[in-house]
Amino acid sequence: MTTAHKLVIVRHGESEWNQYNKFCGWFDADLSEKGLEEAKRGAKAIKDAGMKFDICHTSVLKRAVKTLWTILEGTDQMWLPVYRTWRLNERHYGGLTGLNKAETAEKHGEEQVKIWRRSFDIPPPPMEHDHAFHKIISESRRYKGLKPGELPTCESLKDTIARALPYWNDVIVPEIKAGKNVIIAAHGNSLRGIVKHLEGWYYGLLQWLDTGGSGSGRGGTGKRLELMFHKECWHVVKHHMTHRSNRCIAPEQTERSAACNK
């Protein structure tokens, strides 16, 4: 008898910079009060569903880490092993980091900002050395182990997928195939990359990660996607707590892209 294994993907709760409508990217913004409550609601939903995990993965940014902590505390699973990696970080917004999205649209035009935010392979302007947050990000101890050329100065969605997928393919997929139930708490764009990889641009799920199913246009902070791996195939079980599908997703593909490095 073949056993089905679960993967739960959670987007972090609202950050303080989400709250102020700023481009956040690799800046280490904390959860807002609303974001913490979103994480607690996610924990309750997971607990009510009776979900148990074996291994946890998150980024090295505190808004994702704290979301995971809150879920593990709320489900009495804080003893689980947690692995953090820069490869699950949010997309690097380069020179846009710290800017208000509405003010940036007024300055550069809504169409240009839409291209920077939503196009697949067009990155925003790079983060120059004199940028207000360049030193804070580039000299952070959490990135000391990166190889030359791995630390980006900006990323398109394509670049984000290219650096997230090696971790997905080399670490997470083998765990699931070994029978582990896995939870990933990360960010809108790194999660979009995983979903794109599995779904082949399944629009409904990508839109859900963008809006949280609310139609508000704001990121779907604190939302959950549940996938099942069964008979060498991925199945969407649930997203935004309501959707169910028996759609079969090819388990393995390979994406490669040159990152925007400098």
pLDDT at 5: 73
Q: Which two tokens stand for residue 175?
A: 């765990």
More confident residue, 141 or 254: 141
Neighbouring CB atoms inside 10 A of 139's CB total 9
pLDDT at 6: 81
**What is the spatial distance between Cα 62 and Cα 26, in angstroms, rounded to a whole number?**
10
What would the CATH number be for the domain defined by 5-249?
Answer: 3.40.50.1240
> Which pLDDT band, with edges at 50, 70 and 90, does 246 fall under?
very low
Between the ranges 73-82, 112-121, 216-225, where is the mean pLDDT highest? 73-82
**What is the spatial distance between Cα 53 and Cα 176, in angstroms, rounded to a whole number?**
11
Share of the chain above pLDDT 70, in %: 74
Mean pLDDT of the chain: 82
Question: Could you state, in order of their start, the residue ranges of all structural domains in the chain?
Answer: 5-249
Helix (H) or strand (E) holding 186: strand 182-186
Please state the pTM of the whole predicted model.
0.82
Q: Is 12 a catalytic residue?
A: yes
User: How many angstroms separate the first and last alpha carbons of the chain?
Assistant: 51
> Which pLDDT band, with edges at 50, 70 and 90, does 210 fall under?
very low
Q: Is 90 a catalytic residue?
A: yes
Which amino acid is residue 50, in one-letter code?
G
**What is the spatial distance between Cα 143 and Cα 147, in angstroms, rounded to a whole number?**
9
Binding residue ranges for substrate = 11-18, 63, 90-93, 101, 117-118, 188-189
* Of 12, 57, 187, 239, catalytic: 12
DSSP for residue 15: B
**What is the spatial distance between Cα 45 and Cα 43, in angstroms, rounded to a whole number?**
5
pLDDT at 197: 78
More confident residue, 28 or 240: 28
**What is the spatial distance between Cα 151 and Cα 164, in angstroms, rounded to a whole number?**
13
Among candidates 253, 176, 252, 248, which has minimal Cα distance to 4? 176
3-state secondary structure 140-183: CHHHCCCCCCCCECCCCHHHHHHHHHHHHHHHHHHHHHCCCCEE
CA angle 78, 213, 157 (to 5 degrees): 80
* 138-192 tens-digit pLDDT: 999 999 999 999 999 999 999 999 999 999 999 999 999 898 999 999 998 998 8
* 31-88 tens-digit pLDDT: 999 999 999 998 998 898 889 999 999 999 999 999 999 999 999 999 999 999 999 9
DSSP for residue 31: B
Binding residue ranges = 11-18, 63, 90-93, 101, 117-118, 188-189
* Of 38, 57, 90, 239, catalytic: 90
* 92-108 tens-digit pLDDT: 999 999 999 999 999 99
pLDDT at 224: 60
Which amino acid is residue 203, in one-letter code?
Y
Tell me which of 90-94, 131-135, 194-198 is least confident. 194-198
Strands ordered across the beta sheet of 82-84: 82-84, 55-58, 182-186, 5-11, 224-230, 233-239, 248-249
